Amino acid sequence: MIRLIICAFLSFASFSFSQQQQHGDTVYYDSGDIYIGTWLNGKAQGYGEMIWISGSHYIGEWKDNFQHGKGKMTWAEGDQYEGEWMMGLQNGEGKMTWGNGDYYEGEFKDGLVNGKGTMWYQNGMVFKGKWKENTFIE
């Protein structure tokens, strides 16, 4: 079966801004997380970088504390997504690469593989066509 862990990013898609200290364009959280970038009305806005204490990292565009626009997320375990985001979820065109080397390029909707795209597996298998909610349909 197709190994898609796209939703794993949900725990990182948005974050709490409570218990923070701001120094210029850098915000330090009590959790140890750090945000560096544009800040407007107490929210991440525009372009910025978030570094989680877990080792995960996002750099790109933000809107109202969510990844929004173009950006690149790298999870601590080595999985990576680069592409379009909307309110903290992968939406639009992007590429998801897993730590084992499998990767998918194509369309995403609400954090899931959805639309036209191609999945390449390290064992040589390739699935190209339409996807719906992380499932290859044709």
Residue 82 pLDDT level (bands cut at 50, 70, 90): very high
- Contact at 8 Å (CB) between 118 and 102? no
Q: How far apart (Å, rounded) are the C-alpha atoms in residues 1 and 14?
A: 29
Q: How far apart (Å, rounded) are the C-alpha atoms in residues 63 and 54?
A: 23
pLDDT of residue 22: 65
Structure-block tokens of residue 131: 């996807």
Mean pLDDT value across residues 88-96: 97
- Contact at 8 Å (CB) between 92 and 99? no
Structure-block tokens of residue 77: 């375990």
| pTM metric for this prediction | 0.82
Residue 10 pLDDT level (bands cut at 50, 70, 90): very low
